[in-house]
Amino acid sequence: MAEVDPDEALFLIQQEVSDLHAELPKNDLVVWTAGNVSARVPGRDLLVIKPSGIRYEELSPGLMVVCDLDGNLVDGDHAPSSDTAAHAYVYKHWPEINGVVHTHSTYATAWAARGEPIPCVLTMMADEFGGEVPVGPFALIGDDSIGRGIVETLRDHRSKAVLMQNHGVFTVGPSAKAAVKAAVLCEEVARTVHVARQLGEPIPIPQSDIDSLYERYQNVYGQRQG
């Protein structure tokens, strides 16, 4: 089997990350230049992330920057996202994670502003998150404090989304695409549960049913490679 050229493999990751960024404004998860998607570079202690302050419609694979797992710029003509240290910390301390997404989506961030977890009152939540969407600690941007909060909150939690208090949403996944999906669904359930609470008290799902729903969705739902 022919070896994959490292430069070609890196470009494919840059292309994927660039393409996935389009999903954030498409799903109303970001405004202006806020938010970001990153992906781990397979087999290398590197990540790909969007540059800081560049509008989504201007992004392209060639603009994506490459950083090491300490958040240092390795390749690219622009400064990396201000959230790079958080992403890098997650990859460095959680080897199973290959994609990280950050948004300030309206409804989920409103829950973050209250410091309140989103309760598991929807089957979609049980399917995707295996329970509530938890709240992580308040932390300032600029170093790895946010990354530490993400890992500490989610490491022993089935949820792949966390509401960082007073800040916004971070999601993680086995791929960047999976992390984007989690971000989209996090905003959807945040909005739906908010609306439900305007009508009355939502009905909790029993833990045994949450477990069954999560197991089915994660291991049975969808197509399987034969």
Q: What are the catalytic residues?
A: 102, 104, 127, 167, 221
Dist. CA 143–CA 82, nearest whole Å: 9
Dist. CA 187–CA 106, nearest whole Å: 8
Q: Is 87 left (phi over 0), alpha (psi -120 to 50) or beta?
A: alpha
Residue 5 CB neighbours (<10 A): 9
DSSP state of 203: P
Q: Helices then strands (H, E): number in the chain?
A: 8, 8
Per-residue DSSP letters for 115-181?
Answer: T-PBP--SHHHHHHHSS-B-EEPP--BTBSHHHHHHHHHHTT-S-SEEEETTTEEEEEESSHHHHHH
Both tokens of residue 139? Answer: 């932390």
DSSP state of 54: -
CB 71 within 8 A of CB 152: no
